[in-house]
Chain A
């Protein structure tokens, strides 16, 4: 570890020297925005050519900085899907240049043939997947419900957790090891309707980036991945209204400029009416039942001057299930992000974020003589300060601080009247996560780019409360009471991050990366799928931070003038302090849950291949992943390595979008994956006169392979009108594959001397239709 620091220090020194000996350069800064909406564009590139070439990309606020020697340059600004701007620029002083890009037609080859983006080859970032909303909107979806998370799962290395489940596994990580950020706010439960839809309404989303490895040092807190989702800022040019009516939900989005070109706001709402069918019933015990979810995204931005911009964004979503006089269950997330972009100088960009994030659920037992209500939540107050310091075109320094104050309320149970249930309150847990990071994006030469940095993260478990320590058998060895604000346990972890790319030629490069990630908040789930009631726990006397070290290497190549992009990445990941429940654990043990936990190691490795046709009448991609994910716990499976439930040997996904003319778009998706590792019985016996199944190896079996083909067709209205509408027709699971949602083992109800295996399939062939409009 100490050596790592020394190396970093040395590199920083070298960086400083280079800076001091560099010739005086002029700096250009500015924003790049969409001509129609005024939305800032993330990841657009600015290229200056005078003999040698300098390239800069806009950050997540659409801001760029580039330096060049005085003189006459060719400057070109481009972004995929937009018309490239190319002009000459005479540079004699520092300047601010804002660019407005016009959306291009993907069909129009000429537009694209200017400067084609081959950042995927040039950037040192690995393990990165980006998806844009137009791609999401064109893909066939279950019930026509556009879903970011489901679109992501069509990319290599990102695996769907189960049929109709929005949870996902990245490079062998479990679902809780993904950091899901919506405008920087962590979203703890990203699914609706017990996992059938994600909480992200694609109307409100501008940009989605997934880091499967090589995470930049500004991200931390989860082991496997970062899913960074940015909401639309809102149209700064004109009022717009758009929406859609689908089989299961309707959507509406309003965008209004507050002051033209200065500020705007956006509100986007979605509500499902899965329970509409109930209302058709005449039976009052049926038509008063409810089942629905809604999402509300809102964002406002205001550009005070060239140096200061404010953003306020929020998300509120909830699921509600109510069965009359029986049972009520509702859960949801709320996030609020307040951000302030400030330009200290042309070289120093700052963003300050104040973030609130909460997930809670409430269960109501409405049966009178045993009624109760359970309330549980996890809540964060989060302060983040990020700086970007452009030392030169060679060195871009990013550094910052982050503090998160977590509160977890495992459950408070209240009752009314003559309930046979006693009220209970479980102790809240409080924790403080502090992190600091520094990273340097170093363009060592035209061919070699290196990003190296360090994140130092700490976690403190705070009082008040009673804290117990358990031995390996789960017996209490020590119990102590702590006062408010007292430190119970502290953990500090340095997380080195390194990635490098070496460009072999214009079209191809090799990359490598090493990252360490740690995780201080853990989601405990003993079921084969995630549930809204899964319990969050923090590091403690017993639970240590999870640690993952990942190395990866890759080969990236574009061909046919960037029309095709290809990548091959291999990775190996070591994981420490992984957590599993003891066999037979009672998940209701919320006050003593740590007595039932086991700790062990994990390892994951794989290869991901990806080939994408990026534009043209026909575009799409094919992804293939081979992977292994294993775990080792002394008390499970006799200490032998076993496949983690997310282990899947082969995973193939194929997406194709065909746009023959201006009005029709056809698309198709095919997925195939090896079944998950599961435990099935290898025998049976009788206890108490009932059949009991005998299990041998943990996760020694596989669910049947999963595959499915979906198609959809979208008809746009005649172009050029103020009011635009489109129809989307889709068929999910075209060849009606009976994929297993669950496999149950039980006595044959018709012949008690036999046992049988029953497969439940949730979704056979399902047609859908959606009508979208915009004006």
Chain B
């Protein structure tokens, strides 16, 4: 979907610019970290992971939610049984490598195959299915500079050829120094069959010449797209939507997502 993201990005930029401008010109707007009382919800299970088309140990992470003001951590849930079945009859058992991290033997997922993940944890069973789409390669990464009032912002752009006639969904992930910095879900609704340039609206202001950023470009199915798209909307700053948990493809009220995806990665040197 490239386009719409672009479009949303622009509206966001516009609105952000406007708000910024008003604030600036009135020299009074301000941001402040505040202490807000938040409830501590009962921990809920989160299952996250996927199967890709690379020959590697596929990983499923099972965690529980924890309190907002707790330190960020991997809150793993051990002792679960994780089984993957594929529409071609393959059955894969996962083993727990550390609490909450479950790994398969090395294997390569195949486009067109539907994978079903079954997780047994603490007496409950959770299942999710995902179909691996046909692969689209990330052709190129470039940088694009955008002038906003008196600031120039630099963004990374993904370039690929969208296959005509079929709906495609993509999930682009920016990593910097091994950490995920940004991800965005897009589809081809507005540019089916075209050579697409999609700006990833993540401000590279922290990067200095010589830094390398990595972009992983995934092809995902519709439910997974919806999950990541919805997650992105929750964090949109200019036009806050009424937030909700992104729609998971797991049953039994588990949070998280199971994705069968193709993966294509490139690195770019910041100049």
Contacts and interface: CB of A to CB of B under 8 A. Distances in A.
Nearest to A374: B7
A274 B20 CA distance: 12
B12 to A, nearest CB: 10
Contacts of B15: 194, 531
A133 interface: no
21 contacts: A274-B25, A327-B14, A363-B7, A365-B7, A583-B244, A678-B242, A679-B244, A686-B61, A686-B63, A688-B48, A694-B255, A699-B242, A738-B32, A742-B240, A747-B72, A752-B72, A753-B72, A759-B31, A759-B32, A762-B28, A766-B28
A690 B180 contact: yes
B240 A527 contact: yes
Nearest to A368: B197
Q: Which 7 A-B pairs have the closest CB atoms?
A: A584-B230, A583-B244, A764-B28, A682-B41, A285-B147, A683-B65, A689-B180
Given A193-B18, A420-B194, A686-B63, A758 B31 contact: yes
Nearest to B13: A327
Contacts of A699: 242
A680 B35 CA distance: 13
A329 B239 CA distance: 15
Contact of A765 (B10, B28, B243, B244): B28
Nearest to A329: B14
Contacts of A763: 26, 28-29
Interface in B208-258: 226-227, 229-231, 233-235, 237, 239-247, 255-257
B251 to A, nearest CB: 14
Given A286-B147, A584-B246, A754-B72, 16 more contacts: A323-B148, A325-B147, A327-B10, A327-B14, A329-B14, A526-B242, A583-B244, A679-B243, A684-B66, A685-B75, A686-B74, A687-B256, A693-B234, A759-B31, A761-B30, A762-B28
A694 B72 contact: no
Interface string A420-440: 111010000000000000000
B195 A281 contact: no
B166 interface: no
Overall SS of chain B's interface: mixed
B63 A685 contact: yes
A584 B229 contact: yes
Interface residues of A, number: 90
Size category of the B interface is 35 or more
A158 B39 CA distance: 31
B23 interface: yes
Given A531-B239, A753-B71, A698 B244 contact: yes
A291 B10 CA distance: 16
Contact of A528 (B26, B240, B257): B240
A421 B190 contact: yes
A366 to B, nearest CB: 9
A635 to B, nearest CB: 11
A742 B197 CA distance: 32
B44 A683 contact: yes
A744 B33 contact: no
Q: B29, B68, B149, B191: which has the most chain A beta carbons within 10 Å? A: B68
Interface of B: 2-4, 6-8, 10-11, 13-15, 17-19, 21-23, 25-26, 28-36, 38-41, 43-44, 46, 48, 61, 63-69, 71-75, 144, 146-150, 173, 179-180, 183, 189-199, 226-227, 229-231, 233-235, 237, 239-247, 255-257
Contacts of A760: 29-31
A369 interface: yes
Interface of A: 193-194, 196, 274, 277-278, 281, 283, 285-286, 289, 291, 321, 323-327, 329, 363, 365, 367, 369-370, 372, 374, 413, 420-422, 424, 526-529, 531, 533, 583-586, 588, 645, 678-696, 698-701, 704, 738, 741-747, 752-766
A420 B234 contact: no
Contact of A326 (B33, B147, B189, B229): B147
A766 B21 CA distance: 15
Contacts of A588: 4, 7-8, 189
Given A281-B150, A329-B11, A422-B194, A757 B33 contact: yes
A329 B13 CA distance: 11
Given A747-B72, A765-B28, A420 B191 contact: yes
Q: A193, A688, A704: which has the most chain B beta carbons within 10 Å? A: A688
Given A685-B66, A756-B33, A760-B29, A370 B3 contact: yes
Contact of B68 (A277, A688, A693): A693
Contact of B10 (A274, A363, A757): A363
Contact of A683 (B2, B68, B197, B239): B68
A687 B229 contact: no
B24 to A, nearest CB: 8
A324 B14 CA distance: 12
A752 B74 CA distance: 13
B131 to A, nearest CB: 18
